Structure 1
Amino acid sequence: MKIDLKRGWKMCAVTGAAMALVAGMASTVPSAYAGGTIKVDDDKYISIGMGIRQSFNMVEDGSASGSQWSNGFAINNARIYINGGIHKYVKFAFNTECFNCAVGAGNGNGGAGNIFASNTTIGLLDAIGQFEFTETVNFWVGRTLVPTERGELNGPFYHAVFDGFRTPFNQADFSGNIGAGGAGLYGRDNGVVFFGKVHPGGTHLQYVASVFQGLRSSLNTGPNQRDSLKYAGRLTWNLLNDESNPGYYTSGTYYGTAGDILALAIGGEYQNAGAGSNANKSAFGSFVGDVLFEKVLDNNNGRTNGVFTANAEYKRYWAQGLAAQGGAATGNGDCFCLFSGTSVTAYALYLFPNEVGIGRFQPYGRYTFVNSVHTGALDEFEFGTNYVISGHNARISAFWRTGSLAPAGGPTTLGAIAGGRHQDSVHLALQLQY
């Protein structure tokens, strides 16, 4: 790992100046926003919203030459949200995403692959029919999130940190499409989800069970020749205050607005022939355990001393033999090869009580460990701060990473690579939604 002290100080100065500039712009921000809902009555309405996430990233040895730091701006997400009600018990959600804004051939690096507008493709993210009868019985049908771990159900906009996805992806997030050869997209899949909540002994227990397409294969190509379905579920037990989110979704922090939270959860998924190739089929299964703890620190005078938040997640993925190794070892070009092994990620944050300019600072630290059963271990440290202007709706983040995880593929990794190395990176990011 090479360390350029002069460049490091320059990066810190630029990041600090940018955050200070935003913190001092209180007089330029309006005090009210226009509404986005057209309402006929209490049961019939339609609303529209938006969400964008963008970042400036500097990665060690990430330049075209492979020997200098890269400098690049990225559009990480650009979404349009459309939600509505048709009946007292019937609602819908229709959301879009710019899938190729941050990935794909048209990534702004030039070359033959950078074809016209290929990095601005907007497509269908969610299409959900929502039948919500009571607190205990509800069904969502269509293209929606697979309910396994909190990290996936937070989505990118409701994590406590800007880049919440650092452990290996599940089937639906690892995949690049829905249909033959794919197992989902952005953590979504086509299926049916049943969920509800009960309150035993003054606590709060949410249950989620679902059936999805999972991995699809075509004739003599891919492992799932019998169209086996995928089954996924999750249990969340809130021992203190309840969490209030749409449907079965989650959040990585509530910035103290929900009071004290202690949420313990387990989840998982299973699909027969859900990994590997036609010649080397494998079932795919996962087990996830995660914890969210949030404490509002009170000074006993009716005023908060800030908010402490901690998230931790353990994952165990199973994909047998060649299905978990990937590359030439599979002997087949039709392998849907998935990570097999364990991973742990944990982070802690402290939200200061006093505003500086138009927001509050929230420093944090994070550690991630990934260990494949077929290769060596990977890890990563992350330190940074959020500048929280309006909860998850307006937030600036600055952070530094170091470790061996990113060079091996980050959340898309199948395990450590030969000649693996450490890599530093510095990031400044903005998140806005309404």
Structure 2
Amino acid sequence: MIARKGRFAATCMAAAATTLAANANAGETWKFGEDASLTVGAGIRVTYRDIEGDDNADVESLRLYTSGQLTKIIGFTFNADVGRDVDGDIDSLRAYDAIARFEFNDYFNIWAGRMVMPLDRANLAGQYYMGIWDFPIVNNFPSYVAGRDNGVTVWGQTGGGKFKYQVGAFQGCSDDAPCATGSNRDDNPMFAGRLSYAFWDPEPGYYPATDYYGQKEILSVGISTALQEDATGTVTDRGDYSSFSIDGLLQKKIWTGGVVTLEGSYYHHDTDGKATSLVSGSGYYLLASYLFPEKIGIGQFQPIAQYQSLDRDDGGFDVSKWEVGTNYIIKAHDARLSAIYSQTDFKDDGRGAVDGYMLGLQLQY
């Protein structure tokens, strides 16, 4: 029965990619006067996974995008994704982003509400705009849901997006946050910030991507940090949380007409040696891909490889992970297929390497 469901999911992915690719775009926008508008879009990510013979097909994400402008300065964003019950079945839509945006100029803007925190590139890009399918295992920042938290961010840019700063204060590990342990009785906020510089083409706006599929040539470096007092431990034995990361992305067209991508990031997380669900330790990932210039059928193949390593100092198992496979790029991030083989090694746990296979389809409108 499980195997049949897996074959059915794979067939659906291929059929949907063929029939819907031409219609995938950035959503629909309605204008209401000179400065007022409303944009609505949607996205879906369907996967079939096989891990050591245990296979499963799932709708991993069903995203609803809504954004609008009330005036030239004041806007809003509301994005929702699937919520699940205790059995893991989809039963609702859950608010992912709910942002009031006050955008004065390139240099100074204020966002308030629930938003993607200004940390590493992968977190800011989000699952729909990464070059590889899954988030890095070394990305372990506190968040309320999917790399997002409730708070306020001040951000701006110069050179049309060559230099960007993003600084915010968030709930972090307090109140009803998943990482809260009861230690943050004073509701100390988590401060997070990022500085980035693009040496070649600029990356304007709050969000970057990890792959532009040749639409830009990128050489960019970013540094981010987060800090929260009393985020870990218990009421009587409190500890602080801090993190630091540095990431880089190089993406360039070469003489063949193809696109070479090299990406890497280093992370350090410190939980002060106290009880917490957060990970303490250091890690990194390295990624390389090549987008072939020729179209085969309706898309382009992009072989991809990634290696990750996480060394923990909190008593948990160290872990390393290899991923190799290919993307099939039909319309950039709006329509693509991914087929990935992975091998994950939880060191010293006695199980040895765990093999996994993943087939994924992503569509956005």
Give the TM-score of the pair, scaled to structure 2: 0.90
Q: Is the 8 A contact 2:174 2:184 kept in 1?
A: yes
1:24, distance to aligned residue in structure 2 (A): 10
Once the two structures are superposed, residues 289-330 of structure 1 have per-residue CA deviations (whole angstroms, 9 ceiling, x without a partner) of 00011001145xxxxx1101111010000012232xxxxxxx
Match among 356, 364, 371 for residue 296 of structure 2? 356
CA contact (8 A) 1:140 1:192 kept: yes
User: What percent of counterpart residues are identical?
Assistant: 32
- Cα deviation digits, residues 174-204 of structure 1 (max 9, x gap): xxxxxxxxxx2211111110111123xx992
Partner residue of 2:224? 267
CA contact (8 A) 1:360 1:388 kept: yes
Aligned match for 2:235, one of 274, 278, 282: 278
Show CA shifts across 1:149-171 (max 9, x none): 11110111000011133224211
Q: What secondary structure sits across from 2:163 in the alignment? A: strand
* Mapped pair 1:169 → 2:121: no
The change in CA–CA distance for 1:217 and 1:83 in structure 2 (over 3 A counts) is: closer
Shift of 1:31: 6.7
In 2, the alpha carbon distance for the partners of 1:221 and 1:171 equals 12
Cα distance in 2, alignment partners of residues 261 and 155 from structure 1: 18
Q: Deviations over 1:268-306 (max 9, x none)?
A: 10000112222331100000100011001145xxxxx11
The one-letter code of the counterpart of 1:91 is G
Q: Secondary structure of the residue that 1:309 maps to in structure 2?
A: strand
- Residue 159 of structure 1 aligns with an amino acid whose one-letter code is M
User: What is the distance in 2 between the residues matched to 1:34 and 1:188?
Assistant: 22
Using the alignment, how far apart are the partners of 1:33 and 1:204 within structure 2?
26
What is residue 138 of structure 1 aligned with on the other side?
109
Aligned to 1:127: 98
Is the 1:126–1:144 contact (alpha carbons within 8 Å) kept by the matching residues of 2? yes
Q: Which residue of 1 aligns with 2:184?
A: 224
Please say if 1:43 is aligned against 2:66: no
- Structure-1 residue corresponding to 2:271: 319
Structure 2 contact 311–319 (Cα < 8 Å) conserved = yes
Q: Which position in structure 1 is the counterpart of 2:345?
A: 404
Deviations along 1:346-389, one digit per CA (max 9) or x if unpaired, are: 11010000111110000011100000014453101110100000
Q: Select the residue among 238, 250, 254 that pairs with 1:297.
A: 254
Q: CA deviation at 1:38?
A: 1.5
- Cα displacement (A) at 1:403: 2.0
Q: Which has the larger radius of gyration?
A: 1
CA contact (8 A) 2:13 2:361 kept: no
Q: How many angstroms apart in 1 are the aligned matches of 2:325 and 2:268?
A: 28
Instruction: Name the residue aligned to 1:367.
Output: 307
Considering fraction of residues, name the structure with more strand.
2
**How far has the Cα of 1:125 moved from its partner?**
1.1
Give unpaired runs (5+ residues) of structure 1.
Answer: 1-9, 61-68, 108-117, 173-183, 300-304, 324-335, 406-415
CA shift in 2, pair 1:399/1:19, >3 Å: farther
Task: Output one character per residue of 1:6-31: Cα deviation in whole Å (capped at 9) or x when no partner.
Answer: xxxx9xxx89x9699669958x8657
Q: Return closer, same or farther for 1:278/1:360 CA change in 2, 3 Å cut-off.
A: same
Equivalent position to 1:74, from 43, 53, 58: 58
Counting matched residue pairs gives: 355
Unaligned runs of 5+ in 2: none
The residue identity in structure 2 corresponding to 1:190 is: N
> TM-score, with normalisation over the residues of structure 1?
0.76
The residue number in structure 1 matching 2:170 is: 212
Which of 76, 80, 105 is matched with 1:92 structurally? 76
Is contact 1:168-1:339 (8 Å) kept? no
Amino acid at match of 1:287: F
SS in 1 for 2:123: helix
